[in-house]
């Protein structure tokens, strides 16, 4: 085997080398990369390189460089880029030739390989997806995380021990009532903001991020992306979008940020839209599970409505927005057992992000609620929402749930639990509320992130549409249940 | 804090070798760049078994033998000719930072198809160490890579690693140190 | 005659004429577990061929179709990659 060093840089075809040589006198400026590399970029029409050259060498030299490029392209049968890519690819092969050898038969990866194949086969893949959703999302995050653990932390730790102590302390130290209201009132910074973020959202999100990290680390997500690609094409997306969509079940705000992994602007807009309309985040899932806990049929209908809305809204949005889905390609890494420390590191990193980015927004939300109440703006808004509750055949108290849902979804729901306990809400009404609350306006944090990522026009447009659409679906559902005589 | 004390502290930091050089970690998506970043700097970033997780650029510091280096983790990049936004970000980062050292991380099993980027980096005149990551996966597949042969052909330092369990990290740090302390 | 997927348009028409001479066919015509050598990657206007090259799917390499539905899964070298029908349609094999 030859071990002598290869003369690097390696030579391209004579035509390309000639073009590089004729560019040499033109490129006089100082560049961050070698003249040779810059020349190659120029010959391939790289825009950033072209801009740099125009800036440093002036228009005249720039045009001469362009002429070299045109001349080269005329001499070649294929795009310059293709020739260069081909040469490099062949060098890669040649350099490894003889250095990479098999010294033992390929060991079967056993269980992992087998499982990986099952995940990609549509016959077994979809049942596996259902199992993952049922155990990972419903049982672990929903029932255990949002139910048991939140119950312990929120009701016992915060509700009975911490919050009464903080309230008593604030009331003793600050005699001024509006400030007391701001800090420990019904919607106070502490009672609403901190309690909500720490006692409710934190455990739910932690459990979700754990599940997500396991799925990620095992190599399941690329397989899911591959499995779902065709279905997503109908929604104007491709398989790549499963990553933000699945993450949305944990936190729609984070998922909206992660839409950056998508390749085209169109896909980013469509995914942001679906996230804000249909994908319930873990906090919402918690609320819905709690509301419908006594009505399994209601939960089933809720799931059906959500899937239906996801498909219909996605399909329609893809028709409205011009363009075609980007083609799908993704490497499929080997399926492997997740590395525990990796999973923990990832979960912690996401939680850190969550706290730095989302937590402050909850505090702002409580401040806004406080101002809204103090100035009477909320009463006005509630009055405006009254007719809406009538269309939905709901008691007028439900308006509070919708208004607060924007700031803190579970708070709105808390009022509903009370109504439910007093026997003022039927199963059907609970179902309608659950559907509207899920579709309804994203939370403040998600709205602000959408604003940042997509611009105010897009964010406001989505806000208005989501509001109208949520109510429309609610009204239809309410009528539909009545007309069909369904009681859940 | 008085300005004098500030200068004194600066002077002390320089004596300790505070961030003397910049190292950029780059490579295709899904080759373990973020895990390597964590192993070198001790900083956590979100790492994943799917492409495209490092959407933002992460910075940290690596301390070794009394020196400190600035380490930057870049989004996934297949080639020097960018197709996606991530690749555009990575290339701009590379060109603007003018790093003293580029760590090109590749999946050892797929080194043949990842070498074109190594070649492009060398072509561009950037100082490169090639990191053959996931060398354990290669061995598990019953393959053997003659690193010495590859090193001689390419004429750049090459280190084989398995970042997730720490194998080769010490050697890589030593190589980085040897390269930058010259 | 190789069937031309409509999205490939004119590029494919000319490629098709060429690939008839070379006895090559589009990857999508391979059956599951079938192996072939890649003879060419069609240069579509959007530049998707570059993504295939980045995955190591390039002329001269041996490609195996692992799965065809719901999306193509192929093996090239030590890489497994999922590519949809549109991307697979760019790959000419013999």
pLDDT tens per residue across span A191-217? 777 887 788 778 888 999 999 989 988
Find how far residue A317's CA is from the centre of its chain: 18
pLDDT of residue A66: 94
Which one of B50, B73, B121 would you mutate to disrupt binding with A, by most A Cβ within 10 Å of its Cβ?
B50
Q: How far is B57 from chain C (nearest CA, A)?
A: 22
Contact yes or no for C56 and B112 at CB 8 A: yes
Residue A358 sits at the vertex; the CA angle it makes with A353 and A362, to the nearest 5 degrees, is 155
CB spacing of A99 vs B35 below 8 angstroms: no
Asked if residue C1 is part of any domain, the answer here is no
| CATH no., domain A14-96 | 1.10.287.1770
Indicate if the pLDDT at residue B49 is higher than 80: no
Structural domain total, chain C: 1
Is residue B8 assigned to a domain? no
- Our CA-based measurement puts residue C80 at a distance from the nearest CA of chain A, in whole angstroms, of 5
Number of H helices, E strands in chain C: 3, 6
- CATH number, domain containing residue B170: 3.40.50.300
pLDDT for C18: 53
Nearest CA in chain B to C47: B83
State the count of interchain CB pairs (< 8 A) between B and C: 28
Give the one of C51, C53, C70 whose C-beta lies nearest to A89's C-beta: C53
ipTM tops the 0.90 cut:
no
Q: Chain C neighbours among A 234-253 (CB < 8 Å)?
A: 238-239
In whole angstroms, what separates CA A337 from the centre of its chain?
25
Q: What is the domain-level CATH number for residue C46?
A: 2.30.30.90
Shortest distance, CA B109 to any CA of chain C (angstroms): 6
Q: Residue A469 CB: number of other CB atoms within 10 A?
A: 17
Residue B152 is assigned to a structural domain of this protein: yes
Identity of the residue in A2, A101, A107 whose CB atom sits nearest the CB atom of B140: A107
CB contacts, 8 Å: C84 with chain A: 229-230, 233, 238-239, 327-329
What is the 3-class SS of A195-262, one letter each residue?
A: HHHHHHHHHHHHHHHHHHHHHHHHCHHHHHHHHHHHHHHCCCCCHHHHHHHHHHCCCHHHHHHHHHHC
Q: Which helix (H) or strand (E) holds A392?
A: none
Q: Which domain holds residue C28?
A: 6-93
In a domain, B135, yes or no: yes
- Token pair, residue A226, equals 């591959």
Q: Do C69 and A85 touch (CB under 8 A)?
A: no
Instruction: For residue C55, list chain B residues with Cβ-Cβ distance below 8 A.
Output: 113
Which of the four pLDDT bands, split at 50, 70 and 90, describes residue A102?
A: confident
All residue ranges of chain C with pLDDT < 50 are: 1-17
**pLDDT bracket for residue A424 (50, 70, 90):** confident
- CA A408 to chain CA mean position, Å: 19
Contacts of A333 in chain C (CB under 8 A): 80
Query: Average pLDDT in the B51-80 region?
Result: 79
What pLDDT was estimated at residue A123? 95
* Tokens standing for residue A237: 């997306």
Is A315 in CB contact (< 8 Å) with chain C? no
Q: Has residue C30 been placed in a domain? A: yes
Nearest CA in chain A to B52: A261
Query: Residue B111: is its pLDDT beyond 90?
Result: yes
Burial of A240 (0-12, 13-18, 19+ CB in 10 A): buried
pLDDT at A338 over 50: yes
- As given in the structure block, the two tokens for residue B43 are 């900083």
Q: Which of B140, B141, B164 sits opposite A342 (nearest CB)?
A: B164
The chains found to touch A (3+ Cβ pairs under 8 angstroms) are B, C
Lowest mean per-residue pLDDT among A331-345, B114-128, B129-143: A331-345
Domain count, chain B: 1
The answer to whether B122 contacts chain A (CB < 8 Å) is yes
Domain with CATH 1.10.287.1770 in chain A: 14-96
3-state SS, residue A14: helix
Percent over 90 (pLDDT), chain A: 40
- The answer, for C81 touching chain A at a CB cutoff of 8 Å, is yes
Q: Is residue B51 part of a domain?
A: yes
Burial class (CB in 10 A: 0-12, 13-18, 19+), A395: middle
Please provide the average confidence, as pLDDT, over all residues in chain A.
Answer: 86
CA distance B37 to A76: 42
Residues of B with CB under 8 A from a CB of C: 28, 78-79, 81, 83, 107, 109-110, 112-113, 141, 143
The tens digit of pLDDT for each residue in A341-395 reads 878 888 888 888 787 777 787 777 778 878 887 888 888 888 888 888 888 888 8
User: pLDDT tens across A273-291, in order?
Assistant: 999 999 988 878 877 888 8
Q: Which of A81, A89, A222 sits opposite C82 (nearest CB)?
A: A222
* First-last CA distance in chain C: 14
Nearest-5° angle of CA B66, CA B94, CA C41?
Answer: 135
A455 has pLDDT over 80: yes
Helices (H), B17-84: 33-41
Distance CA B179, CA B62 (A): 14
Nearest-angstrom CA–CA distance, A181 and A288: 29
**Is B131 within the bounds of a domain?**
yes
């Amino acid at each position: 085997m030859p071990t002598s060093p290869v003369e690097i840089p390696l030579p391209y075809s004579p035509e390309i080398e000639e073009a590089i040589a004729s560019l040499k006198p033109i490129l006089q400026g100082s560049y961050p990369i070698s003249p040779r590399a810059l020349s190659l970029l120029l010959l391939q029409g790289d825009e950033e390189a072209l801009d740099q050259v125009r800036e440093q060498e002036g228009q005249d030299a720039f045009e001469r460089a362009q002429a070299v490029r045109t001349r080269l392209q005329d001499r070649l049968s294929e795009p310059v880029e293709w020739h260069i890519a081909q040469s490099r690819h062949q060098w890669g092969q040649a350099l490894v030739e003889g250095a990479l050898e098999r010294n033992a038969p390929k060991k079967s990866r056993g269980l992992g390989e087998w499982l990986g194949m099952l995940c990609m086969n549509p016959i077994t893949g979809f049942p596996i997806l259902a199992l993952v959703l049922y155990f990972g999302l419903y049982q672990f995050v929903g029932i255990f995380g949002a139910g048991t653990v939140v119950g312990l932390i929120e009701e016992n730790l915060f509700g009975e021990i911490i919050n009464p102590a903080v309230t008593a302390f604030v009331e003793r130290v600050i005699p001024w009532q509006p400030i007391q209201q701001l800090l420990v009132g019904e919607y106070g910074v502490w009672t609403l903001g901190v309690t909500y973020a720490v006692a409710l959202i934190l455990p739910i999100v932690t459990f979700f991020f754990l599940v997500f990290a396991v799925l990620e680390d095992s190599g399941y997500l690329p397989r899911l992306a591959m499995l779902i690609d065709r279905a997503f094409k109908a929604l104007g997306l491709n398989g790549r979008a499963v990553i933000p969509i699945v993450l949305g079940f944990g936190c729609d705000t984070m998922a909206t940020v992660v839409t950056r992994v998508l390749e085209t602007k169109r896909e980013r807009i469509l995914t942001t839209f679906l996230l804000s309309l249909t994908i319930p985040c873990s906090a919402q899932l918690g609320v819905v599970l709690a509301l419908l806990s006594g009505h399994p049929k209601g939960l089933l209908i809720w799931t059906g409505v959500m899937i239906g809305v996801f498909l219909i809204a996605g399909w329609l949005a893809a028709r409205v927005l011009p363009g075609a889905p980007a083609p799908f390609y993704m490497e499929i890494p080997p399926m492997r057992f997740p590395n525990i420390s990796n999973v923990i590191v990832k979960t912690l990193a996401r939680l850190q992000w969550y706290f730095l980015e989302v937590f402050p927004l909850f505090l702002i939300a409580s401040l806004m609620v406080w101002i809204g109440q103090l100035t009477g703006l909320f009463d006005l808004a509630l009055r405006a929402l009254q007719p809406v509750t009538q269309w939905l055949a709901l008691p007028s108290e439900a308006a509070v749930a919708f208004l607060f849902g924007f700031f803190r979804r579970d708070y709105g729901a808390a009022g509903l639990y009370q109504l439910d306990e007093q026997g003022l809400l039927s199963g059907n009404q609970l179902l309608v509320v659950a559907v509207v609350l899920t579709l309804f306006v994203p939370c403040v944090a998600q709205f602000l992130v959408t604003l940042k990522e997509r611009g105010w026009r897009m964010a406001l447009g989505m806000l208005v549409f989501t509001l109208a659409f949520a109510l429309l679906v609610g009204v239809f559902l309410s009528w539909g249940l009545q007309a069909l005589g369904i009681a859940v | 804090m008085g300005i004098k004390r500030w200068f004194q502290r600066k002077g002390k930091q320089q004596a300790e070798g505070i961030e003397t050089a910049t190292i950029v970690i780059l490579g295709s998506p899904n080759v373990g760049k973020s895990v390597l970043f964590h192993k070198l700097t001790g900083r956590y970033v979100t790492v994943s078994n799917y492409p495209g997780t490092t959407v933002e650029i992460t910075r940290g510091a690596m301390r070794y033998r009394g020196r400190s280096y600035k380490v930057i983790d870049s989004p996934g990049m297949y080639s020097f000719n960018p197709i996606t936004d991530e690749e555009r970000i990575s290339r701009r980062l590379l060109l603007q930072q003018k790093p003293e050292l580029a760590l090109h991380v590749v999946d050892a099993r797929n080194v043949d198809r990842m070498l074109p980027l190594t070649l492009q980096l060398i072509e561009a005149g950037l100082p490169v160490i090639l990191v053959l990551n996931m060398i354990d996966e290669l061995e598990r597949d019953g393959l053997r890579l003659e690193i010495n042969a590859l090193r001689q052909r390419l004429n750049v330092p090459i280190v084989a690693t398995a970042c997730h369990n720490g194998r080769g990290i010490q050697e890589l740090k030593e190589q980085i140190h040897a390269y930058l302390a010259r | 005659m190789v069937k031309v997927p409509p999205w490939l348009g004119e590029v494919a028409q000319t490629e098709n004429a060429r690939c008839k001479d070379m006895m090559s066919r589009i990857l999508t015509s391979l059956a599951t577990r079938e192996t072939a050598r890649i003879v060419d990657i069609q240069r579509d206007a959007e530049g998707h061929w570059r993504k295939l090259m980045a995955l190591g799917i390039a002329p001269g390499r041996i490609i195996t179709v692992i799965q065809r539905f719901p999306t193509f899964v192929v093996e090239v070298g030590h890489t497994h990659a999922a590519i949809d029908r549109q991307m697979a349609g760019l790959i000419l094999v013999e």
